[in-house]
Amino acid sequence: MSASKARNLKVDVLTRVEGEGALDLKIKNGVLHDVKLRIYEPPRFFEALLVGRRFDEAPDITARVCGICPVAYQTSAATAMEQALGVEVVGPLRDLRLLLYFGEWIESHALHVYMLHAPDFLGYESGIHMAADHAAEVERGLALKKVGNDLMSVVGGREIHPINVRVGGFYRVPRKQELAPLEERLERARDAALETVRWAGGFPFPDFELDYEFVALLGADEYPLLGGRLVSSRGLNIPISAFEEHFIEEHVPHSNALHAVLKGRGSYAVGPLARYSLGFDRLTPVARDAARAAGLGATCSNPFKSIVVRTVEMVHACEEALRLIRGYEPPDRPAVEIEPRAGIGHGCSEAPRGILYHRYRLDDDGLIAEARIVPPTSQNQKTIENDLWHFVPGVLDLPDDELVRRCEQAIRNYDPCISCATHFLRLKVDRR
Amino acid sequence: MTTTLVIGVGNPDRGDDAAGLEAARLIEERKEPGLEVRRFNEDGASLIEAWRGVDHVVLVDAVVGTGPPGKVVRFDPAQGLPFLPTFHASSHAFGVGQAIELARALRWLPGRLVVYGIEGKSFMPGAPLSAEVEAGVRVAVERVLTESLVREASAPPRPCAARRGSRGGRRRSARAPSPAGSCRRARPLRTP
């Protein structure tokens, strides 16, 4: 291929991502001229259809935004409503929320690591093709995913779109003996997750690092997950309620998902790398040791290593779930009492892909007058494009099909959930 | 007694997509000994867990593109699928096709797996089954019962192709779709 030739590479349907998207690259005389991550999945107008619904309907309605991270939607919605209505869920009820959420992290990360992203590193077209040569690893991944699903079923009522979450807590809390059988399985899952860290740590990684502004939720002494303050690697430290003063969403012509930026500062990154780099010292000691043994430092700015960070987060999630189950005493009541009233509430939690922000304004009857949802993938969109602006020049000499494959791998670093953001990627490379 | 597991797959709230679930419900009502029935509304990765270790599985699901609404078709996945699962378009959720291919790669396919498809007409959210598909469900139920019960009374299971075949993985090479109509060889018993 001649360096002076123009190349337009178009991936019209991105694969192994959730939702429908495409990537266009324009290359002229061997120089990258344009990168566009196009999200063409139609918008779904969830924020509009929430208006006029009761406050207590928001967790179940917004859960339908995503089949992979419904707990994130339920949790962000419930905590926002609780703030609007002046109640706080603490103690064992909050612990149950964390337990349910760890189930979602384990399930989502296991699926992404094993079935969606590992094939990129090992040179397979899909997880199914990889399974023929790496059956033991794929079986391990499926077993991990199943533990996550089962945890969600026991606490949440079912594995997809759980039905047990409500504003103020739960409809029903599990009995001690319902959680007990999960203990031994989570011990095995933790060992499988540790194996996964060693496996993924041995993948070949491009030598590629960027100086990101990482944003994550940081609580008093917990690894980022639920509540706390919005903290960045460049000094931002704000309450969740100040989100919209600092983060803005912009329309861009080529995407149906809004691009989020930090006001006056530009793109930022949310998700596993951000949580890890801001919360390394809050990981369980076993997860920290596993990360170090896999070659990670206390921060990680190589997006391709996000797969290793996800495996470390699986270890952390299994350990924390074990701790919560071992110490579980059923709460006296499944939820705190709530009286509808007017108010504004902000909620934020760490979906597997990064922070998920909700804001609701309620009228006197507790009906939703206004809703705002900012999912993690729309926050990472600009960062994904920025990664490609830096990554593609180093691999420009590759033939089109290989270049496309490497770009898809770079996009999958973010486990983008396009369904959430508008809500699959087509790649177009235009070489001139 | 050997148990045959009948799995009805579908979404109860998407019109004719519920065809497999309805067929499973009707089969369950017959209370035939040796038949275990499960209605399945989860993702495909969980589907392969559901049939793991079971020797004989009959799966019933709604399909599109096989003919007029309500038409009942039978596939033998050991002979290859008459459609190519969309590996490329995979998102987080696995379909039945991906589940079958993943199980094949992992050697988790049941000793014998038969898929009955019922051609759907409308998949509108909240819609009931269409009249054509309701009729198709009844046909599928009889065919599943006849095949399963006759099998119960006769032949031992045969090893599936996946267990006999090679396990070589595919590293980014194109593969021809499985031949359409390959299920003809395994034509089931007659429809009542």
B163 touches chain A (CB under 8 A): no
Bigger pLDDT: B69 or A47? B69
Look at A132 and B170 and tell me if their CB atoms are within 8 Å. Answer: yes
Residue B144 has pLDDT above 70, yes or no: yes
Residue B93 has pLDDT above 60, yes or no: no
- Measured CA to CA, the distance from residue A6 to residue A26 in angstroms comes to 8
Residue B137 pLDDT class (50, 70, 90 cuts): very high
pLDDT for A20 equals 65
Write the CATH number of the domain with boundaries B4-186.
Answer: 3.40.50.1450
Average pLDDT for B161-187: 34
Kindly give, in sequence order, each residue whose CB lies less than 8 Å from that of residue A161, ignoring residues fewer than 6 positions away: A60, A63, A64, A67, A70
Look at B169 and A159 and tell me if their CB atoms are within 8 Å. Answer: no
Residue B92 has pLDDT above 70, yes or no: no
Q: Which of B87, B92, B98 sits opposite A18 (nearest CB)?
A: B92
pTM of the model: 0.86
Is residue A86 within 8 A of residue A343, CB to CB? The reply is: yes
pLDDT for A302 equals 98
- Measured CA to CA, the distance from residue A55 to residue A81 in angstroms comes to 7
pLDDT for A32 equals 92
Substitution target in A13, A60, A129 with the highest count of B β-carbons within 10 Å is A129
B119 touches chain A (CB under 8 A): no
CA-angle at A17, arms to A15 and A20, nearest 5°: 80
- Among the ranges given (B73-82, B85-94, B134-143), the one the predictor scored with the smallest mean pLDDT: B85-94
- Among the ranges given (A371-375, B79-83, B101-105), the one the predictor scored with the smallest mean pLDDT: B79-83
Distance of residue A38 Cα from the nearest chain B Cα, in angstroms? 16
What are the boundaries of each domain within chain B?
A: 4-186
SS3 assignment for chain A: CCCCCEEEEEEEECCCCECCEEEEEEEECCEEEEEEEEECCCCCCHHHHHCCCEHHHHHHHHHCCCCCCHHHHHHHHHHHHHHHCCCCCCHHHHHHHHHHHHHHHHHHHHHHHHHHHHHHHHCCCCHHHHHHHCHHHHHHHHHHHHHHHHHHHHHHCCCCCCCCEECCEECCCCCHHHHHHHHHHHHHHHHHHHHHHHHHHCCCCCCCCCCCCEEEEECCCCCCCECCEEEECCCCEEEHHHHHHHEEEECCCCCCCCEEEECCCECCECCHHHHHHHHHHHCCHHHHHHHHHCCCCCCCCCHHHHHHHHHHHHHHHHHHHHHHHHCCCCCCCCECCCCCCCEEEEEEEEECCEEEEEEEEECCCCEEEEEEEECHHHHHHHHHHHHHHHHHHHHCCCCHHHHHHHHHHHHHCCCCEHHHHCCCEEEEEEEC
B88 touches chain A (CB under 8 A): yes
Query: What does the DSSP assignment read for chain B?
Result: ---EEEEEE--TTBGGGGHHHHHHHHHHHHT-TTEEEEEE-S-HHHHHHHTTT-SEEEEEEEESSSSSTT-EEEE-GGG--SS---STT--SS--HHHHHHHHHHHT-S-SEEEEEEEE-S---BT----HHHHHHHHHHHHHHHHHHHHHHHSPPP---HHHHS------S---PPPPTTGGGGG--SPP-
A146 touches chain B (CB under 8 A): yes
Kindly give, in sequence order, each residue whose CB lies less than 8 Å from that of residue B128, ignoring residues fewer than 6 positions away: B15
- Among the ranges given (B29-38, B143-152, B155-164), the one the predictor scored with the smallest mean pLDDT: B155-164
- Measured CA to CA, the distance from residue A309 to residue A314 in angstroms comes to 9
pLDDT for B170 equals 43
- Measured CA to CA, the distance from residue A316 to residue A296 in angstroms comes to 15
Residues in A touching B89 (Cβ below 8 Å)? 13, 15, 424
pLDDT for A385 equals 93
Per-residue pLDDT tens digits of chain A, which is 432 residues long: 444 577 877 776 665 556 667 888 899 988 999 998 887 666 678 888 999 999 999 999 999 887 788 999 999 999 999 999 999 999 999 999 999 999 999 999 999 999 889 999 999 988 889 999 999 999 999 999 999 999 999 999 877 788 899 999 999 999 999 999 999 999 999 999 999 999 999 999 999 999 999 999 998 899 999 989 999 999 999 999 999 999 998 888 777 777 889 999 999 999 999 999 999 999 999 999 999 999 999 999 999 999 999 999 999 999 999 999 999 999 999 999 999 999 999 999 999 999 999 999 999 999 999 999 999 988 998 999 999 999 999 999 999 889 988 998 999 999 877 655 443 445 566 777
A13 touches chain B (CB under 8 A): yes
Distance of residue B150 Cα from the nearest chain A Cα, in angstroms? 34
Q: Which of B161, B178, B93, B55 is nearest to A16 (CA)?
A: B93
Residue B155 pLDDT class (50, 70, 90 cuts): low
A248-257 pLDDT tens trace: 988 887 777 7
Average pLDDT for B57-78: 92
Q: Which fold has domain A47-206+327-399?
A: Cytochrome-c3 Hydrogenase; chain B (1.10.645)
B177-188 pLDDT tens trace: 333 322 222 222
A126-142 pLDDT tens trace: 888 999 999 999 999 99
Look at A124 and B170 and tell me if their CB atoms are within 8 Å. Answer: yes
A18 touches chain B (CB under 8 A): yes
pLDDT for B65 equals 85
Distance of residue A424 Cα from the nearest chain B Cα, in angstroms? 7
- Number of A/B CB contacts below 8 angstroms equals 89
Residue A201 corresponds to which tokens in the numbers above? 């740590």
Bigger pLDDT: A302 or B165? A302
Contact residues, B window 19-78, toward A, CB-based 8 Å cutoff = 42-43, 45-46, 48-49
b/e for A230-239, b at 16 or more Cβ within 10 A? bbbbeebeee
Average pLDDT for B42-70: 88
